[in-house]
């Protein structure tokens, strides 16, 4: 299946007040950017045909792949002055780079890459800054069996705050961590059909417009995942992922522990 990745947001919560134009998907986790980790996850499951929806900081993403160095994340041998790679990351990937506008909503970005999805009955889509260890094969299998028109991965709430049940007179009846509430939140990792594209209005949103409409029809499937899932919306979250990488606690790197 083709994989559409939304790479064009400003990433305001990742900025430090400077004029740094490095887009959020290009923030580093270990020796590679977030975007690479997301793509490597899909490639591990055999999905290596990517469509990148570019916007803010597009040139950083283009330059990264135009000047890609396999030796950064692969072992190699230098023999007779030549580099011989022992492994390769992206040699069998196909990557389509599409300018989808600096200020476009995600739904509009998806609309603008529709010509590149022609003939694809089902395709994958995702944000470019969320990492997980979810079993993608199982996710796709359950979506197919559901007969739905679209699916999204849903995860337990990630907030560290507490919900408070309080009476009108101010009496607190109960306190519960948000993470223990019987609710789920959107975790990305979408499996979509062409029907979704028909539900997107100009300038629309994938979740609120298309997925919302399908949910109202009972045709949206939610794949429940309570394993590892972590976004990198802030510097703190990105730093936690980077620290995990450097200490060997990196469950999202499924290619290190599972057969390809």
Average model confidence (pLDDT) across the chain:
88
Per-residue confidence (pLDDT) for residue 82, from 0 to 100: 83
Residues in a beta bridge with 229 = 132
Question: CA 120 to CA 259: how far, in whole Å?
Answer: 27
* 149: CB partners within 8 A, 6+ apart: 192, 193, 195, 196, 214, 219, 220
Long-range CB contacts for residues 245-253, cutoff 8 Å, separation at least 24: 245/29, 245/30, 246/30, 250/30, 251/133, 251/227, 252/37, 252/41, 252/131, 252/132, 252/133, 252/228, 253/37, 253/40
Instruction: Read off the pLDDT of each residue in 41-63 and give the average, rounded to a whole number.
Output: 95
Q: Which fold has domain 2-74+83-156+185-256?
A: Spore Coat Polysaccharide Biosynthesis Protein SpsA; Chain A (3.90.550)
Q: CA 29 to CA 18: how far, in whole Å? A: 21
Backbone angles phi, psi at 52, to 5 degrees: -100, 120
Could you report the per-residue pLDDT of 167-184, keeping only the tens digit for each? 888 888 788 776 676 788
Whether the per-residue pLDDT at 18 is higher than 50: the answer is no
Which residues are CB-neighbours of 35 under 8 A, at least 6 positions away? 5, 7, 25, 26, 52, 61, 64, 128, 129
Q: Which two tokens stand for residue 229?
A: 């899932």
Query: Any residues with CB less than 8 A from the CB of 218 and at least 6 apart, and which?
Result: none
Q: Mean pLDDT throughout 136-155?
A: 96
**Do residues 96 and 2 lie in contact, with contact meaning Cβ atoms separated by under 8 Å?**
no
Under a CB-based contact definition with an 8 Å cutoff, are residues 255 and 187 in contact?
Answer: no
Query: For strand 185-186 and strand 150-155, is the pairing parallel, antiparallel, or unpaired?
Result: antiparallel
Contact 128, 74 (CB under 8 A): no
Query: Which of the four pLDDT bands, split at 50, 70 and 90, describes residue 108?
Result: very high
Query: Is residue 106 very low, low, confident or very high in pLDDT (cuts 50, 70, 90)?
Result: very high
State residue 151's pLDDT score.
97
């Amino acid at each position: 299946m083709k994989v559409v990745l939304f790479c064009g947001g400003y990433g305001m919560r990742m900025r430090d007040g400077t004029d740094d134009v490095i887009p959020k998907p290009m923030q580093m986790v270990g020796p590679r950017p977030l975007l690479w980790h997301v793509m490597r996850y899909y490639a591990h499951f055999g999905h290596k045909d990517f469509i990148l929806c570019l916007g803010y900081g597009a040139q950083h993403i283009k330059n990264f792949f135009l000047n890609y160095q396999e030796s950064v994340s692969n072992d190699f041998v230098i023999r007779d002055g030549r580099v011989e790679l022992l492994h390769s990351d992206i040699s069998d990937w196909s990557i389509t780079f599409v300018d989808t506008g600096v200020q476009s909503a995600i739904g509009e970005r998806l609309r603008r890459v529709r010509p590149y999805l022609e003939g694809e009955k089902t395709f994958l889509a995702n944000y470019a800054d969320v990492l997980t260890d979810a079993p993608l094969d199982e996710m796709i299998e359950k979506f197919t069996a559901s007969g739905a028109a679209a699916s999204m991965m849903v995860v337990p709430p990630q907030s560290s705050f507490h919900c408070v049940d309080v009476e009108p007179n101010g009496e607190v009846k109960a306190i519960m961590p948000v993470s223990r509430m019987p609710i789920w939140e959107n975790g990305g990792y979408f499996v979509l059909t062409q029907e979704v594209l028909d539900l997107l209005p100009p300038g629309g949103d994938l979740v609120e417009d298309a997925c919302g409409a399908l949910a109202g029809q009972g045709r949206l499937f939610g794949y429940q995942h309570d394993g590892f899932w972590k976004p990198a919306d802030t510097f703190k979250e990105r730093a936690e992922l980077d620290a995990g990488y450097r200490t060997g606690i990196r469950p999202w790197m499924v290619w290190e522990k599972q057969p390809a």
